[in-house]
Structure 1
Amino acid sequence: MTAVKLAGAPISWGVCEVPGWGHQLSPQRVLTEMRDVGVSATELGPEGFLPSNPAQLTALLESYGLGCVGQFAPVVCHDADHDPVPDIAGSLDSLVASGGSVLVLAAATGADGYDARPTLDDGQWATLLGNLDRLAAAAAERGVLAVLHPHVGTMVETRAEVDRVLDGSTIRLCLDTGHLLIGGTDPLQLAREVPGRIAHAHLKDVDAGLAADVQAGKLAYTEAVRRGIYTPLGHGDVDIAGIVTALLGNGYDGWFVMEQDTILDAEPADEGPLRDVRTSVAFMQDTCRSIPV
């Protein structure tokens, strides 16, 4: 059985930075269920979910036997009048204190949510690309690897935009299998084409029918999440096993973070999101058993 570094993320329990996203579970429930389902580490989730005090954060994670992988950080990068480097200072402090190694950047629009985005001109694109390299350098000074997460509803969503980042900056990528597919990129093809630029992976499986409705503008992204666009791994239309195999075959040694974004209407009376996470963990275990050592 091939050993991989498997982590969880609070968004799989519905914990999200978007105002009004849905019912937010407590850190105690999320971390307990994460530990019990068998993952060894977590991304930190949105600002305010876990303690910002580095000592308190480290003690909390250690009390659940969990390590820190990284943190997701939406940052406005395209505005020439805004310096994004100070925006990541708190995240870097938390990562350094808790042993996290990856800052997962998204090129935020500046508005809440992921249902609409502006179009950038060439000057704004030049600013964005330059700032991505500046942010990567600032993170590297603290011993943290910054990666760009192509993400629905941000300034880097489509395959053409991903290619513009690959051609115009040196930052490495977070391969989010779900957001890439919804944005029009084949994540398996990208994994095979630019393995050297991929340094982090978010594993999502996707209902391709709902993804097509989002791409066509028939369905808002948030509503698609509410309807279950992200399925447990192995139950959707993304070749997760093929992607994992391709990455490992090209020397990938980073984390695989399971992320099935969900929206909760209320505190679950039963297992709630844990059921899908457990299914995804079992799928990954089966996948790893089938990959030659």
Structure 2
Amino acid sequence: MKLSVFYEHIRDAAGQSGLSLEEVCTLVKGFGIDALEMDANRFKAEEASILPLLEKTGLTVSCMYGFFDFGHISSSEVKKEQITAFLSMASRAGASRVLVIPGFLGEHEQDPASGEYQQSVRLMKDAVAAMCAYAKPLEIMVGMEDFDDARAPFATTAQLLSFIEEIPELSCFFDTGNFLYSGEDVLEAYARCRPHIGYVHCKDRTFEIHVGEEPKLTVDGRAMYAIPAGSGCIPMRELVTELLNSGYDDTFVIEHFGAQDQLAFMKQSAEWLLGLRKEVLGG
């Protein structure tokens, strides 16, 4: 098992604790976390300081993620320019994977039966397929996740699979906590997505109120809060155990955006995941 965590959590932890980025990275490395998930915009703005920080603390970039508006860009040249710039940054960071969030729909585009919806989704799929083609010679895996936003036409299992099943080289980056947003059963979603899973985000959720934390509202209005992996309402033990027993022993990404004590959450999540791996696989 390899563990990764979002670089944005590192930055939050530094701000919350008063520690430097280097000090937080060193602590995180000591928790058993070896890699980071890197926001492309963050890397673009701070590459000159991020790369020396990673080299000094022994962390690597496992995956770079980027937000696009492919559903509203018809120019193939513009798309190519954005894709190649994104993949170039991922290569410079040493990332072997990229997570693409291809865009969101406007209010007038959200009816799946409408021509506007179909046109926007078609443009997104064409751009993602092009990204997969450009990424292949670079040996970079391209993935999409069940993004928790009603404006994303890939939030539900069926929507996500409509991209993945149409684009053979596109991988499923399975996020354990995002199906709850759409009111779906995560175990059923897992069963459908399992043949396509190439990467895993270990996100747990709780409906217990965390004062001072801004919640994420589900589609039916319930407030979800961040929680360390294994301590919330998502069946994390069952999911991670199934993944390990199925032969997946690659990266598990720790994710809890919005947490008020990121350092403690990262430590607890890492301990739980590593402990469960030892329990399931031994050694």
What TM-score does the superposition give when structure 2 sets the normalisation length? 0.79
8 Å contact from structure 1 (residues 103, 146) kept in 2: yes
Deviations, residues 158-192 of structure 1 (Å, cap 9, x unaligned):
23312322343321111111122212333333333
Distance 2:140 2:164 in 1: 20
What's 1:182 paired with?
Answer: 181
Change (3 A) 1:76 1:5: same
8 Å contact from structure 1 (residues 12, 273) kept in 2: yes
Structure 1 segments of 4+ aligned residues over 6 angstroms from their partners: 209-212
1:38 partnered with 2:36: no
SS of the aligned residue for 2:64 comes to strand
Distance 2:98 2:180 in 1: 22
> Which stretches in structure 2 are left out of the alignment for 5+ residues?
111-115, 210-214
Q: Which one has the bigger helix percentage? A: 2
8 Å contact from structure 1 (residues 103, 139) kept in 2: no
Distance 1:117 1:14 in 2: 36
Letter in 2 for 1:10: Y
In the TM superposition, what is the alpha-carbon distance from 1:218 to its structure 2 partner?
Answer: 6.0
1:278 partnered with 2:238: no
What TM-score does the superposition give when structure 1 sets the normalisation length? 0.77
Change (3 A) 1:233 1:162: same
In the TM superposition, what is the alpha-carbon distance from 1:198 to its structure 2 partner?
Answer: 0.8
In the TM superposition, what is the alpha-carbon distance from 1:42 to its structure 2 partner?
Answer: 1.1
Distance 2:2 2:270 in 1: 12
8 Å contact from structure 2 (residues 204, 233) kept in 1: yes
Letter in 2 for 1:187: V
Distance 2:181 2:147 in 1: 9
Distance 2:108 2:29 in 1: 36
Deviations, residues 38-70 of structure 1 (Å, cap 9, x unaligned):
3111122352357335xx644331200112201
Change (3 A) 1:29 1:156: farther
1:251 partnered with 2:240: no
What's 2:156 paired with?
Answer: 158
In the TM superposition, what is the alpha-carbon distance from 1:273 to its structure 2 partner?
Answer: 1.4
What's 2:65 paired with?
Answer: 72
Change (3 A) 1:291 1:169: same
Identity of aligned residues (%): 19
8 Å contact from structure 1 (residues 205, 233) kept in 2: yes
Residue of 122, 129, 132 corresponding to 1:126: 122
In the TM superposition, what is the alpha-carbon distance from 1:147 to its structure 2 partner?
Answer: 0.3
Distance 1:127 1:106 in 2: 13
Distance 1:217 1:28 in 2: 39
What's 2:131 paired with?
Answer: 135
Change (3 A) 1:67 1:59: same
Distance 2:73 2:175 in 1: 27
In the TM superposition, what is the alpha-carbon distance from 1:242 to its structure 2 partner?
Answer: 1.5
Distance 1:231 1:38 in 2: 19
In the TM superposition, what is the alpha-carbon distance from 1:284 to its structure 2 partner?
Answer: 0.6
Change (3 A) 1:12 1:240: farther
Distance 2:50 2:185 in 1: 37
Segment of structure 1 superposing worse, 69-78 or 191-200 = 191-200
In the TM superposition, what is the alpha-carbon distance from 1:209 to its structure 2 partner?
Answer: 6.7
Q: Give runs of aligned pairs for residues 1-293 of structure 1, distance below 5 A.
A: 4-13=1-10, 27-28=21-22, 30-48=24-42, 51-53=46-48, 57-82=50-75, 83-109=78-104, 118-119=109-110, 121-153=117-149, 154-170=152-168, 171-208=170-207, 213-217=217-221, 229-262=225-258, 272-292=261-281
Say which structure, 1 or 2, has more relative contact order (CA 8 Å, 6+ apart): 1
Paired residues, number = 263
Distance 1:103 1:141 in 2: 14
Distance 1:85 1:257 in 2: 29
Deviations, residues 12-51 of structure 1 (Å, cap 9, x unaligned):
3465xxxxxx98x964354234223331111223523573
Distance 1:110 1:216 in 2: 19
> Which stretches in structure 1 are left out of the alignment for 5+ residues?
16-21, 265-271
Distance 1:152 1:168 in 2: 21
Provide the aligned C-alpha RMSD in A: 3.1
Distance 1:213 1:69 in 2: 29
8 Å contact from structure 2 (residues 74, 123) kept in 1: no
SS of the aligned residue for 1:252 comes to coil
